């Protein structure tokens, strides 16, 4: 009997014992091609020698020194590396241990930014339906997935949610991509007007929506318009790149492709690639300067901020990505995977949409391609696909509730940046097998 309080106590899980590049190996010797990096985490695959050595070397020298007493070399070097690569003037990095902590820090920093200017009365974050920002209470409150929020709603802070930018379901047939981007951004302008601009702290959004919508990129011009609206009203723009950042979409920061610089950006997952638990928040000088010149410090903190071993691991991950030019592979293999998915599933009777950027791809399944009617949620197709995929030796990340937290089914793919053409074929073949098995099991 296990004494672990597992996520899903009823599930019987295999025991992972080793990694081999893009593969995970369980205690029975079964190999799984990790085509989702867990949840878009393992961007270098598993058991990467350089990262392993960097962690061992740092742990041997100095594992941890509390950040209230010391700085440390790997943290300083990792901050330099990220700031050199970051868009615009994002130039301060606050290191935490994961995505939810990065979002909590971003929310509190945004509040303190206004408070330092005598505007601590501002109380609203505006965010979007069907986004996921983490499971701690602040992050859950800005998140817009009804299924995840529902049971905690009595204890969540008030957040204003607008519609996501979700072309497959929201764009009108006669509307151009640009016109749709403009219209979707207008929802922010309208909500600011309704709430009162002087009451709003920040707008929070995933640049490319991950787990809850299934790799949905913004329409062209959407974030440029959002940036302009935020600037005009003195509202901060917080981008959540916990899942889509750190190269996943083909550029280190996803927002580079949208031509915008957020005031604060949260990163995690691919930062440490699963080798160490680490996340971070980057901010621009007007925010850092106002706080340092005001009260002098950010009223926040956790024990493991800037953990030396975590930073050393993440630095080795980021250096590997840069020195081996892995983002070129993300773009090339991302285009190939998308093309192969379209060739295999383009005419599939249950295929609604294939979308995404780089090696961050989503497939939305529907009951009817013409009307886009969702599959019956009682079929729990996403759970069946996950199980069937594992049986076929594939890890993918299917989810339900794509449309409103209850209806809708998608599969997220986020394979490691090191995959080759053969891995692409293996992903498509095994996914086909899993989908056929799952649909058959569901009686479809
Ligand atoms: C976009 C986004 N933000 C925040 C989080 C929360 O990160 P963590 O699970 O590391 O706390 C996630 C996790 O999936 C995420 O996808």
The yes/no answer on whether domain 16-47+325-441 falls in CATH 3.90.700.10 is: no
The token pair at 176 is: 């151009």
Tell me, yes or no, if the two domains 16-47+325-441 and 52-323 fold the same way.
Answer: no
Model confidence over 4-41: pLDDT tens digits? 999 999 989 999 999 999 999 999 999 999 999 999 99
Among protein residues, the one with the nearest Cα to ligand 1's atom 16 is: 243
Q: Separation of 441 CA from ligand 1 center, angstroms?
A: 31
C-alpha–C-alpha distance, residues 213 and 297, integer Å: 37
Percent of the chain with pLDDT over 70: 100
Instruction: Give the CA dihedral 346, 348, 354, 358, nearest 10 degrees.
Output: -70
Q: What is the separation of C-alpha 254 from the centre of its chain, rounded to a whole number of angstroms?
A: 10
Q: Separation of 267 CA from ligand 1 center, angstroms?
A: 9
| CATH classification code of 52-323 | 3.40.640.10
Q: 111: part of which helix (H) or strand (E)?
A: helix 99-115
The pTM score is 0.98
Burial class (CB in 10 A: 0-12, 13-18, 19+), 265: buried
Tally of residues, the chain? 444
Please indicate whether residue 245, judged by its CB atom, sits closer than 6 Å to ligand 1. Answer: no
Q: Cβ(263)–Cβ(202) under 8 Å?
A: yes
pLDDT at 352 over 90: yes
C-alpha–C-alpha distance, residues 59 and 56, integer Å: 5
Among protein residues, the one with the nearest Cα to ligand 1's atom 13 is: 134
Model confidence over 75-98: pLDDT tens digits? 999 999 999 999 999 999 999 999
Q: In this structure, are strands 409-413 and 360-365 parallel, antiparallel, or unpaired?
A: antiparallel
Q: How confident is the model at residue 156 (pLDDT cuts 50, 70, 90)?
A: very high
Model confidence over 157-209: pLDDT tens digits? 999 999 999 999 999 999 999 999 999 999 999 999 999 999 999 999 999 99
Q: Among 98, 142, 149, 243, name the best residue to mutate to test ligand 1's pocket (greatest count of ligand atoms within 8 A of Cβ).
A: 243
Please indicate whether residue 99, judged by its CB atom, sits closer than 6 Å to ligand 1. Answer: yes
The answer to which of 98-102, 115-119, 145-149, 175-179 has the lowest mean pLDDT is: 145-149
Domain boundaries, the chain: 16-47+325-441, 52-323
C-alpha–C-alpha distance, residues 137 and 148, integer Å: 11
Please indicate whether residue 110, judged by its CB atom, sits closer than 6 Å to ligand 1. Answer: no
Q: 315: part of which helix (H) or strand (E)?
A: helix 308-323
pLDDT at 415: 98
pLDDT at 1 over 90: no
Q: 23: part of which helix (H) or strand (E)?
A: strand 23-26
């Amino acid at each position: 009997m296990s004494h672990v309080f597992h996520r899903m106590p009823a599930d019987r899980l295999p025991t992972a014992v080793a990694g081999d590049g893009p593969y995970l190996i369980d205690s029975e010797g079964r190999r799984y091609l990790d085509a989702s990096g867990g949840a878009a985490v393992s961007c270098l695959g598993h058991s990467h020698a350089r990262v392993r050595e960097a962690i061992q070397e740092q742990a041997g020298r100095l594992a941890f020194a509390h950040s209230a007493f010391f700085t440390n070399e790997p943290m300083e070097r990792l901050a330099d590396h990220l700031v050199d690569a970051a868009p615009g003037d994002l130039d301060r990095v606050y290191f935490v241990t994961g995505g939810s902590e990065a979002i909590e820090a971003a929310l509190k920093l945004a509040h303190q930014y206004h408070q330092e200017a005598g505007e601590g009365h501002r109380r609203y974050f505006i965010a979007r339906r069907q986004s996921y920002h983490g499971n701690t209470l602040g992050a859950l409150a800005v998140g817009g997935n009804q299924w995840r929020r529902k049971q905690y709603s009595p204890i969540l802070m008030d957040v204003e949610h607008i519609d996501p930018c979700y072309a497959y379901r929201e764009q009108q047939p006669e509307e151009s991509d640009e016109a749709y981007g403009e219209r979707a951004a207008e929802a922010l302008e309208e909500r600011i007007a309704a709430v009162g601009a002087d009451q709003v702290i920040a707008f929070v959004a995933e640049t490319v929506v991950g787990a809850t919508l299934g790799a949905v990129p913004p329409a062209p011009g959407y974030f440029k318009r959002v940036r302009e609206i935020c600037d005009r009203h003195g509202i901060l723009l917080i981008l959540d790149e916990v899942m889509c950042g750190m190269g996943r979409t083909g550029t280190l920061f996803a927002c580079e492709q949208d031509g915008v610089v957020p005031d604060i950006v949260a990163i995690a997952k691919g930062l440490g690639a699963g080798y160490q638990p680490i996340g971070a928040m980057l901010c621009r000088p007007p925010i850092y300067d106002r706080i340092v010149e005001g009260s002098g410090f950010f009223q926040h903190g956790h024990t493991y901020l800037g953990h030396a071993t975590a930073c050393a691991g993440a630095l080795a991950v980021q250096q590997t990505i840069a020195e081996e030019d892995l983002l070129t592979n993300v773009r090339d293999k991302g285009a190939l995977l998308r093309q192969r998915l379209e060739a295999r599933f383009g005419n599939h009777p249950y295929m609604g949409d294939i979308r995404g950027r780089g090696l961050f791809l989503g497939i939305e399944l529907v009951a009817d391609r013409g009307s886009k009617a969702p599959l019956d949620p009682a079929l729990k197709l996403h759970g069946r696909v996950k199980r069937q995929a594992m049986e076929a030796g594939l890890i993918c990340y299917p989810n339900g509730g794509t449309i409103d937290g209850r209806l809708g089914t998608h599969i997220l793919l986020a394979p490691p940046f090191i995959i080759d053409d053969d891995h692409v074929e293996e992903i498509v073949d095994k996914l086909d097998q899993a989908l056929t098995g799952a649909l058959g099991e569901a009686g479809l």
